[in-house]
Amino acid sequence: MTIEKATNVGHSHIDIAYERLGDPSKPPVLMIMGLGAQLVAWPDGLCDELVQRGLHLIRFDNRDSGESTHFTGVPDFPAVMGGNYASVPYRMSDMAADAVGLLDKLGLDRVHLVGASMGGFIAQTIAIEYPQRVRSLTSIMSTTGERTVGQMHPEALALFALPPATTRDQQIERMQTVFRVIGSPGFPADPDWIALRAGRSFDRKFDPTSVIRQGAAVVASGDRTPKLRSLNVPTLVIHGSADKMCDVSGARATAAAIPGAELHIIDGMGHDLPRALWPDFATRIAALAARA
């Protein structure tokens, strides 16, 4: 991996760690990961599939993840859920501005966006707030921010009560527990892959409080549905029928809100990116980019 770092990015003037994959002369695709996840959460094999289809990838660590700038403090989450956002340090709009700031640093005018989970929230926000920078939008296992859709299953919600890990081995065990619940029943994950991803993430930067700050930002940013209806961008919505972290109703609502969006629901897929589906994901994303 060749990780680089952009400094003084966006209106928050933070550092963003990123990696470029493939031929820079090819259409650029900004890959945006989800809650608590780092750029290494994008499987190398999926990235290879996209590069083989003639795309140039930029994957990066969101603020408060990996080697990008981390914030401090722990939001009062019960207060946040009750509508008091005074303790929330940033919003989805700030994370969207980070991504656009990275594009500025890289000299990229318009890109294809691919966002997974919270990364889908960020990608949607970029498309809403910076439409001139977006060629196409792919929203994977994500939702609109409207609380009556895309809800968590009680089993997934219970994962947030697990004690935080303090060692590398504990974090690997914790993530294996998480993916036993939220992974794809139709496409069982390789425990060794989960361990590798968890270990790589721990080694790069382990910050258990960052998930609370990012989660508070999600809640405080509210419902995007009215603004999604105004989008005019080629859009693909991908979701699993068995997603316990974000119910498939979130995908249906996203596709219904964005004019002309294509909805692709995969039976047996949960809240992960199964190896067996990488060629399908890559083919659909590349086809969308070509149409755009």
What's the pTM? Answer: 0.97
Q: How many angstroms separate the CA atoms of 261 and 249, rounded?
A: 15
Instruction: Give dist(CA 57, CA 70) in Å, integer.
Output: 24
Q: What is the pLDDT of residue 190?
A: 85
Total domains in the chain come to: 1
Burial per residue of 222-248, b for 16 or more beta-carbon CB atoms within 10 angstroms, e otherwise: ebbbebbeebebbbbbbbbbbbbbbbb
In the structure, what pLDDT confidence band is assigned to residue 45 with cuts at 50, 70 and 90? Answer: very high
Confidence (pLDDT) at 157: 93
Identify the pLDDT of residue 285: 98
Nearest CA to 19 among 46, 38, 36, 45?
A: 38
Residue 75, domain member (yes or no)? yes
Q: Structure tokens of 69?
A: 């700038």
In a domain, 187, yes or no: no
Distance separating alpha carbons of residues 202 and 199, to the nearest angstrom: 5
Within 13 Å and on the Cβ side, how many CA atoms surround 207? Answer: 25
Q: Which residues contact 95 (CB under 8 A, 6 or more apart)?
A: 62, 63, 122, 125, 217
The answer to whether position 200 is within a domain reads no
With 80 as the cut, is the pLDDT of residue 95 above it? Answer: yes
Domain boundaries, position 75: 4-152+207-291
- Per-residue pLDDT tens digits for 188-228: 988 888 999 999 999 999 999 999 999 999 999 999 999 99
Residue at 241 is within a domain? yes
Q: Does 76 map to a domain?
A: yes
Distance CA 38, CA 275 (A): 18
The pLDDT value given to residue 164? 87
The sheet with strand 28-32 has its strands ordered as 4-9, 14-21, 56-60, 28-32, 111-116, 134-140, 235-240, 262-266
C-alpha distances (whole Å) from 49 to each of 111, 112, 158 are 18, 16, 34
Specify the pLDDT at position 235: 98
pLDDT confidence band for 63 (50 / 70 / 90) = very high
CATH number, domain of 79, equals: 3.40.50.1820
Examine residue 172 and state whether it is found in any structural domain, yes or no: no
Classify each residue of 158-176 as buried b or exposed e, where b means 16 or more C-beta atoms within 10 Å of its C-beta.
ebeeeeebeeeeebbebbe
- Give domain status of residue 55, yes or no: yes
Per residue in 140-197, pLDDT (tens digit) is: 999 999 999 999 999 999 999 888 899 999 999 999 999 999 999 999 988 888 999 9
pLDDT band, residue 80 (cuts 50/70/90): very high
Residue 16 near residue 95, CB atoms below 8 Å: no
Any domain includes 12 = yes
Beta bridge partners of 159: none
Q: What is the arithmetic mean of pLDDT over 78-105?
A: 97
Strand partners, 116: 140
Q: What is the pLDDT of residues 10-36, one digit of tens each?
A: 999 999 999 999 999 999 999 999 999
Residue whose token pair is 């119910």: 247
